[in-house]
Amino acid sequence: MTKIAWVTGASSGIGLALAERLLEDGYTVAASARGVEALESLAARRSGHIVPFPLDVTDHDAVRAVHADIEQRLGPVDLAVFAAGSYKRDYAKDFKASTTKAMFDLNVIATAACLETVMTPMMERRRGHIAVVASVSGYVGLPGAASYGATKAALNVMCEALYPDLARSGVQISIVNPGFVDTALTRKNDFPMPFLISAEEAADLIAKGLRAGRFEIIFPWKMAVAIRFLHALPHRLRFALTKRMLR
């Protein structure tokens, strides 16, 4: 029986790499993103195995329509991976509420719309797996990530809160917390990125975590250790370290 995965943010970065990686686990992938040409190119490379479903996830009516189209054309969604998101650095000197709102609209509210759309049918079927891509920046307030880190913290709390309800209904949910991954977004950074890994490595680690049924998939392990250590420090010591990260 064919398994169906729906991946948003599938035109680039982690979403793209994961869409291709899931083929190795026997999925037919419904790939969604705003980049129509990139989706069509991906589908052409993986003819019959990846099916493009163009989507702007901030359009909540479109989210519902695309999900319905996927289930009608391909079948029930077994795995939904919500990887669409954006990243922009902001410091106190250039902090703007409009930037925060735009990032929350895409990273959090749009993800919530996707969650709302898939959770009910999965709970009714008493099966399914949902994965939400967040970031280790949701653990600690890092300089330059005031808005971005806040959105990722919100996703972590959201998924943790939903876990018991979903588990009772036979549905799994996972939160994915990557460290630095080599993508078009991170290539804009003008600072050293410790423990940087490729999108393909990230996709492989995510796929392994999903197969294992883990709630949190955090990687690479060196970054996981570092960020958890930083989070555990008293504020005085933590700020002494984060001040050194200022540009």
Could you read off the pLDDT of 24-80 as tens digits, one per residue? 999 999 999 999 999 999 999 988 899 999 999 999 999 999 999 999 999 999 999
Q: What is the pLDDT of residue 188?
A: 79
In 3D, which of 43, 151, 154 has the Cα closest to residue 53?
43
Q: What is the pLDDT of residue 146?
A: 96
Q: Which domains can be identified in the chain, with CATH numbers?
A: 3-245 (3.40.50.720)
Q: Which of 27, 87, 139, 148 is catalytic?
A: 148
| Residues making up the chain, counted from first to last | 247
- Residue 113 CA to residue 103 CA, distance in Å, equals 15
- Residue 50 CA to residue 132 CA, distance in Å, equals 20
Report, as an integer, the average pLDDT of 225-230: 96
Q: What is the pLDDT of residue 94?
A: 93
Phi, psi of 147 (to 5 degrees): -80, -45
Note whether 217 and 174 are within 8 A (CB).
Answer: yes
Percent of the chain residues past pLDDT 90, beyond the cut: 91
Note whether 6 and 79 are within 8 A (CB).
Answer: yes
* Angstrom distances, CA of residue 55 to CA of 31, 36, 62, 66, 68: 9, 9, 7, 7, 13
With 90 as the cut, is the pLDDT of residue 2 above it?
Answer: no
Strands, sheet with 27-32, edge to edge from the N-terminal-most edge strand: 50-52, 27-32, 3-8, 79-82, 129-133, 172-178, 216-219
The single-letter code of the amino acid at 232 is: A
- 108 or 187, which is more confident? 108
Give the count of beta carbons closer than 10 Å to the beta carbon of residue 150.
Answer: 17
Q: What is the pLDDT of residue 114?
A: 98
| Model confidence band, residue 229 (pLDDT cutoffs 50, 70, 90) | very high
With 90 as the cut, is the pLDDT of residue 191 above it?
Answer: no
Tens of pLDDT, residue by residue over 8-20, are: 999 999 999 999 9
With 80 as the cut, is the pLDDT of residue 190 above it?
Answer: no
Q: What is the pLDDT of residue 247?
A: 74
Phi, psi of 226 (to 5 degrees): -65, -45
Report, as an integer, the average pLDDT of 156-166: 98
- 173 or 194, which is more confident? 173
With 90 as the cut, is the pLDDT of residue 186 above it?
Answer: no
In a 13 Å sphere around the CA of 81, the CA atoms on its Cβ side amount to 29
| Model confidence band, residue 206 (pLDDT cutoffs 50, 70, 90) | very high
- Residue 210 CA to residue 176 CA, distance in Å, equals 10
State whether residue 123 is helix, strand or coil.
helix
Q: What is the pLDDT of residue 77?
A: 98
Tens of pLDDT, residue by residue over 105-125, are: 999 999 999 999 999 999 999
Q: Cα angle vertex 134, ends 128, 137, to 5°?
A: 155
Q: Is 163 a catalytic residue?
A: no
